[in-house]
Amino acid sequence: MRKIPQDLRNLGLLSPSESYITQKSSVPIRPGFDWQSKLMNEMQQAPWHERWKTLGEFRNRCRNQLFGVARQMSATEDGRQISADMLRGLLQWRPEEDLLATAAPPPYPELGQAPSGTPTCLRSDPIFITARFRSGSTFLWNLFRNMDGYTSYYEPFNERRWFDPAARGERIDATHKNVAENYWQEYEGLTELGHYFDAAWHDRQLYMDAGSWNPRMKRYVELMIEKAPGRPVLQFNRIDLRLPWFRRTFPNAKILHLYRHPRDQWCSALMDLKCFPKDGRMSEFAPHDKFYLRVWASDLKYHFPFLDENEAAHPYQLFYFVWKLSYLFGLRDAHHSVAYEHLVQDPQAELARLFPAVGVATYDFEKLNALVAKPDFGKWKKYADDDWFRSHESHCEAVLAEFLCSHHRSA
């Protein structure tokens, strides 16, 4: 059997898994293992400062010094004044009142006017589903997909770009039960969406208030609405903290909010309960973060500072913070909220409440009921006991109460 060369280990070029395998020079590679291809593949995927350990350490030292000086400068009176001057007038803002109404009719008849007719954003037939990852949103999307007269779009902001055959691949998540064919059949022929799709929607501006301005996102959503042969249903996993913008931009659309018990949802997001222990540290979580928790915290911490991962005792705290914010936004801004557990345990009763709330008059319950696949509830008990979860949740609730109440008092 062959061994990985000592010089590669010394240079620090191996992934954590390969380094573990080869921490002793006497540990061989299994027969037929192409370590060169694996190594090159990982090197191409990782940023350069992660591929080259020495350069990464040098980069971190330079960054720490540079931003340390920047922080000191920004803390001075001059620094604060510079920041205020730069941001004044540049922050997103739109007036609450209708300023155009005060200028009707136009003062000069020959001036051009906005197109007449009802714009797409004011249509009343779209349904937006908002939910977190691993909350049962695929199941809810699949229900609408199997209803006559509806066009159900799966995760429009997904980085796989469903409208692009070259980018989306062929992979189907095996945990998504009763999903026929694929996720993207509703996107066939909609390559025009690529003109508006922005990969930054995946990890930037995850919080959008009502005054936010994003015409590309608006047109992207409008285009799907316009191209839908049936009533458009868009199932999102990335708009829960963007709901204020969606409510203002699409004021007549119906919003359906799905949520799941956070403990079971946490375990589902791990995929494997044994991959990350209950006594694991935040610094060890990155390889096990399969559903963008750190990405969300990194962007949202500028609005919700308690999402700084350096302050989290365990990743579940970050998870619970995001879960609770999502729940609160959905509860406030959606036309109907439903628990995943209730939906799959008593679909007849829950659908009888859900569908009228979003304007669905008729449906074939027997057909939809055949799509129900009940998961194992209470998996969290195999991960940690009630006291462990309750302790972290209580901490988060105390922080949220202080943060949200203080904002309420200042308002």
pLDDT tens profile 27-45? 444 455 554 555 455 545 5
- Average per-residue pLDDT in the chain? 87
368 touches 147 (CB < 8 A)? yes
Distance from C-alpha of 315 to C-alpha of 292, rounded to nearest angstrom: 12
CA-CA distances (angstroms) from residue 384 to 278, 289, 389? Answer: 7, 18, 7
pLDDT tens profile 201-223? 999 999 999 999 999 999 999 99
Radius of gyration of the chain (CA): 25
φ and ψ at residue 198, rounded to 5 degrees: -130, 115
Domains in the chain, ordered, with CATH? 1-71 (no CATH), 122-410 (3.40.50.300)
DSSP label at 179? -
Q: What is the mean pLDDT of residues 266-290?
A: 96
pLDDT of residue 365: 97
Q: What is the mean pLDDT of residues 143-156?
A: 97
- Specify the higher pLDDT residue, 178 or 147: 147
For residue 256, pLDDT beyond 80: yes
pLDDT tens profile 319-338? 999 999 999 999 999 999 99
pLDDT of residue 80: 72
DSSP letters for 233-282:
EEEESS-GGGHHHHHHHSTTSEEEEEE--HHHHHHHHHSSTTSS-TT--G
Residue with tokens 């995850």: 206
Give the residue from 199, 219, 216 showing the smallest Cα distance to 159: 199
Across 260-284, b (16+ Cβ under 10 Å) vs e yields bbbbbbbbbbbeebeebeeeeebee
Spatial neighbors of 14 by CB under 8 A, at least 6 apart, are 4, 8, 22, 39
CA angle centred on 385, ends 384 and 389, rounded to 5°:
80
- Specify the higher pLDDT residue, 166 or 177: 166
Q: How many CB atoms lie within 10 A of CB 338?
A: 21
- At residue 96 the predicted structure's pLDDT band, cuts being 50, 70 and 90, is low
Residues β-bridged to residue 286: none
Which two tokens mark 375?
């998961």
Residue with tokens 């055959």: 165
Give the strand pairing for 127-130 and 336-339: unpaired
pLDDT of residue 289: 96
Cα dihedral sign, 317-319-325-330 = negative
Distance from C-alpha of 238 to C-alpha of 235, rounded to nearest angstrom: 9
231 touches 125 (CB < 8 A)? yes
Write down the number of H helices and E strands in the chain.
17, 5
CA angle centred on 30, ends 27 and 36, rounded to 5°:
90
153 touches 226 (CB < 8 A)? no
Q: How many CB atoms lie within 10 A of CB 87?
A: 9
368 touches 360 (CB < 8 A)? no
pLDDT of residue 92: 65
154 touches 224 (CB < 8 A)? no
% of the chain exceeding 90 in pLDDT: 66
pTM above 0.75, yes or no: yes
Distance from C-alpha of 411 to C-alpha of 401, rounded to nearest angstrom: 15
Does the bond joining 244 to the residue before it have cis omega, within 30 degrees of 0? no
pLDDT of residue 1: 39
315 touches 282 (CB < 8 A)? yes
Give the strand pairing for 231-236 and 150-154: parallel
The count of C-alpha atoms lying within 13 angstroms of the C-alpha of 276, restricted to the half-sphere facing its C-beta, is: 21
pLDDT of residue 392: 98
- At residue 157 the predicted structure's pLDDT band, cuts being 50, 70 and 90, is very high
Which amino acid does the sequence have at 397?
A: E
